[in-house]
Amino acid sequence: MEIITVVDEKDNVVGKAEKIEVHRKGILHRAFSIFVFNSKKELLLQRRALHKYHSPGLWSNTCCGHPRFGEKLTNAVHRRLKEEFGFDCKLKEIFSFHYRAEFDNGLIENEIDHVFIGIADVVPKPNKNEIAEWKWISLDDLKKDIAENPEKYTFWFRHIIEKYCNKLEKFLKANQ
């Protein structure tokens, strides 16, 4: 059982709850999405494991998750990156946003999502319990594939690429 941080609309901590309960009831909570690029400006994607309780088998950003209750967000992003891909790198938060999405299985994402970005030339060691496949892809190829095949990607990932890709590109340009 994983206890995560419940927040208000301004991302102030207001309590804690079990992760699955939060997603069943649509309770607003804190989350993060990590985008790791290599020196060729390719993004490390993962296809979520087939047994995930929502969005199984869909392609998404490098990794995402929730800080545990009482855990600093900056500690949580590094913990989760190591748990999912077996490496760590310098990460910088570049923005946050709120989104709400309802899934076919009745679960609801209602998150303030903090987006972190990093650059690393690594050979990932994916956790098979979390990741079915992985690949590096350019943002141009990714945007084209999302436009042609949106059903292959997680809701939050599509949302970030469609609405905030300019922020990712700005970071990459500044960190060449």
Residue of 63, 64, 84, 109 marked catalytic = 64
% of the chain with per-residue pLDDT over 70:
99
Please confirm, yes or no, whether 64 is among the known catalytic residues: yes
pLDDT of 89:
97
Please confirm, yes or no, whether 111 is among the known catalytic residues: yes
What CATH fold (topology level) applies to the domain 3-174? Nucleoside Triphosphate Pyrophosphohydrolase (3.90.79)
Looking at every residue in the chain, the average pLDDT score rounds to: 95
Inform me whether the pLDDT recorded for 44 exceeds 90. yes
Residue of 111, 130, 133, 162 marked catalytic = 111
Taking only the tens place, the pLDDT of each residue in 99-158 is 999 988 889 999 999 999 999 999 999 999 999 999 999 999 999 999 999 999 999 999
What the block records as the tokens of 31 is 């989350």
pLDDT of 163:
94
pLDDT of 53:
78
What the block records as the tokens of 98 is 């709120």
Inform me whether the pLDDT recorded for 176 exceeds 80. no
Q: Can you give the pTM of this predicted structure?
A: 0.96
What the block records as the tokens of 16 is 């804690």
Spell out where 22-129 has E strands: 29-37, 42-48, 59-60, 63-65, 92-102, 108-119
